Amino acid sequence: MPCYAYKGIQLRAPIYSMVDQKKIDRSVRSELENGLKPLWRFAYALSGRADLADDLVQSTCLRALDKANQADLSRALLPWFMTICRSIWLNETRAQAIRRAQSLDTTPDFELISKEAGVETNILSRQVYTMLMALPEAQRSLAVLVFVEGFSYTEAAQALDVPLGTVMSRLHAVRNKMKVAVDGRQKDGMTG
């Protein structure tokens, strides 16, 4: 909430603040609307399940709108949404999901693979998708942020609240595990 300084005394201006708050609320809502796809993919990468991803996105939207006054509108809000999403996952939904499913081993159902892709691409996509979803949760969510959503390493580190070094070592582990798929693609001459 902005404050207006007058002769060294902080005076709050409630009317202006209300107007500002409405503006902030609208901006956050608009950013959420634009970020629903990446947010859902991230929620899916965290939870490994479409229904949980829906719940997570819904809770994230509510939380973000509720905390709109904390949003830094000078920056893209998607990383902030991801941070909220992850926090809800870790603090609220995860334990419940684990207890419900006994584990978070995911059974990929390929629902995220584009139906428009060619047959060969689709087979490879399935392989990549299966391998990505079989990664441990921390690596999987990071891989989606960096490889799918285009987050920089630094942004991913901030969103996941881990040091950059951790991001790099986790990505290194992901690259090692995914090497088979990458090599397969290179052999098939499918890389540009």
Considering beta carbons, is residue 7 or 182 the nearer one to other proteins?
182
Tell me the closest approach of the beta carbon of residue 7 to other proteins, in angstroms.
32
For other proteins, the binding residues in 22-51 under the rule CB under 8 A are: 25, 29, 32-33, 36-37, 40-41, 50
Tell me the closest approach of the beta carbon of residue 8 to other proteins, in angstroms.
30
Tell me the closest approach of the beta carbon of residue 119 to other proteins, in angstroms.
13
Considering beta carbons, is residue 6 or 123 the nearer one to other proteins?
123
Q: Which two tokens stand for residue 30?
A: 């608009």
User: Among candidates 97, 57, 103, which has minimal Cα distance to 81?
Assistant: 57
Residue 124 exposure: Cα atoms within 13 Å on the Cβ side: 19
Q: How far is residue 166's CA from residue 25's CA, in Å, rounded to a whole number?
A: 34
User: Among candidates 67, 87, 132, 126, which has minimal Cα distance to 106?
Assistant: 132
Q: Which helix (H) or strand (E) holds 128?
A: helix 119-134
For other proteins, the binding residues in 112-171 under the rule CB under 8 A are: 112-117, 121, 124-126, 128-129, 132, 143-144, 146-148, 150, 152-154, 164-165, 168
- Between vectors from CA 19 to CA 18 and to CA 20, what angle results, nearest 5°? 90
CB atoms within 10 A of CB 155: 19
Contacts with other proteins, residue ranges (CB under 8 A): 25, 29, 32-33, 36-37, 40-41, 50, 54-55, 57-58, 61-62, 65-66, 91-92, 95-96, 99-100, 111-117, 121, 124-126, 128-129, 132, 143-144, 146-148, 150, 152-154, 164-165, 168, 172, 174-176, 178, 181-182, 185, 191-192
